[in-house]
Amino acid sequence: MENEELIQQCAEKAQKWLDSPLYDEETKRGVQQMLCSEDKTELVNAFYQNLEFGTGGLRGIMGPGTNRMNIYTVGAATQGLANYLNKSFEGKKDIAVVIGYDCRNNSQLFAETCANIFSANGIKVYLFDDMRPTPEMSFAIRHLHCQSGIILTASHNPKEYNGYKAYWDDGAQVLAPHDKGIIDEVNKVNVADIKFEGNKELITIVGEEIDQAYLEAVHTVSIDPECIKRQKDLSIVYTPIHGTGMKLIPRSLNLWGFENVNCVPEQMIKDGNFPTVVSPNPENAEALTLALKLAKQIDADIVMASDPDADRVGMACKNDKGEWILINGNQTCLIFLYYIIRNRQAKGQMKGNEFIVKTIVTTDLIREVAKKNHIEMFDCYTGFKWIAREIRINEGKKKYIGGGEESYGFMAADFVRDKDAVSACSLLAEICAWAKDQGKTLYDVLMDIYEEYGFAYNKAISVVKPGKSGADEIKAMMEEFRAQPVKELAGSPVTLVKDFKTLTATDAEGKTTPIQMPETSNVIQWFTADGTIVSIRPSGTEPKIKFYIETRDELQSAADYEATVARADQKVEAIKKSIGL
């Protein structure tokens, strides 16, 4: 239970909602229930702060309250963004935005609310006629020559959540200076300032015409269409987990030439309650249960799953014993970049100015692949807005050929500026076809990578800390890690500490050097003498603190894989003890 002073403050804020004529009756009933409840936890969590419009937009649990996703918090964000757009493009007569949304409860309501607000502020709106993948919205911004775009989605979060992501005219999520500028405008907005009454003349409904243009662009990602022709019967199992992927991913696979695409029927139903899974997150094995069941029934070659807004892809394939195993995000990213580099080289498509991008918490084995193949690699912060930033910086000078992150996101080309499960699923199927053409599986391809470049084992651990008390605990944990940094991990001395909050790297002797990054971030990394890397960061979208552990080893042959993994797993357990997990 929170302290009495905080409860009183929250009750006063809630009472203002009840007293105001600006809030609807359904909202007021929900607020009244919280005030009347003996347990004030829900009241505190709903009103202890304003849902912050951060650099990634909004994300939170749906419901009434200042700290919840509802038409008022979403409305304030949209009014603030509209104000910023009108200031930034002052004098431009046709400022335009694209609005997309996913399958979640209230996503369409929020999208239509946003369309009304933008149009009431004189901004032209292109609103999708139904749910669509996030990457298609990103594509549509540039395709329609818009100045901004938003997507209503909470990605892979549980069903209680929804979210709001803002994009700029390059199709990427907003970065400096626009992120801070939008936040300032949003923070000025009171509920009375929100213009809810829309101008229908400024709202255009879009759909199939954007779908076709986007799918044509996705098809350009294909490197080896001939191998697809030879393997057109590749048996693919796909699930959208009730989300937007059902709209375009089967179509894209068919367009690429795959004729044996088997969708999980129970999950090809749009449903924001995600009734067939505990969590609609392809990172979780449980979410692929039905897909794996179907794959075993039909003896499929590959299983793919996209999250509700179809920007992430999870994957499973058979190992050397014919058993279905999950391939994690680091391994998937590694396979993508290995295939792209190797096959662009084989096709004579390399000009010598290519580059790839990964995030700082994604496997460093990618660095080895890039180095050995003389490809430039950039490290950036977590989030595809940072990958998009590298593309923008190098546009016209260097050629982007792929980038990804450990959390199951990959972007295969720059016509989209966010992670893209539509192109990723299509390319993944091509890689599987290419492997099968050689009598191999995706598992065999992964083993080939490990044998050539070394073995990396990655483990991500999330510690969930909900509510205000949880946020305070996470803050205290990060402060403790900075104040008392570990000296060794599983017996190997820490030789370098990177603190992205201070942008300093400190070696074992205490010598400090600056880290070149565009801004600070609340991330700590420890590097040890034996190649272990541990990264720690609070999540920007969920109430959790994340630990990313990478250990290194050598893999002599595929026959040694299980023993090598077991050895790495033991080491991870020792590392967890070293950091108190």
Q: Which residues belong to the active site? A: 155
CA–CA separation, 160 and 61 (whole Å): 5
- Are 414 and 299 in contact by the 8 Å Cβ rule? The answer is no
Task: Give the 3-state secondary structure of residue 275.
Answer: coil
DSSP code at position 101: E
Structure tokens at 429: 């199927």
CA–CA separation, 114 and 152 (whole Å): 10
Task: Give the 3-state secondary structure of residue 137.
Answer: helix
CA–CA separation, 246 and 263 (whole Å): 9
Structure tokens at 73: 């918090």
- Are 310 and 248 in contact by the 8 Å Cβ rule? The answer is yes
Q: Give φ, ψ of 325 to 5 degrees.
A: -130, 155
- CA-based nearest residue to 299, from 278, 277, 323, 283: 323
- CA-based nearest residue to 313, from 442, 434, 127, 149: 442
Structure tokens at 456: 């990396």
Distances (CA, A) of 163 to 43, 100, 182, 338: 20, 12, 16, 33
- Are 478 and 520 in contact by the 8 Å Cβ rule? The answer is no
Q: Is the peptide bond before 493 cis (omega within 30 degrees of 0)?
A: no
Structure tokens at 345: 């080289």
Burial class (CB in 10 A: 0-12, 13-18, 19+), 440: middle
CA–CA separation, 358 and 117 (whole Å): 37
Q: Give φ, ψ of 60 to 5 degrees.
A: -175, 175
Those residues whose C-beta lies under 8 Å from the C-beta of residue 178, and which sit 6 or more positions away, are 84, 88, 168
Q: Give bridge partners of residue 513 from the DSSP assignment.
A: 505
- Are 328 and 285 in contact by the 8 Å Cβ rule? The answer is no
Q: Give φ, ψ of 501 to 5 degrees.
A: -80, -30
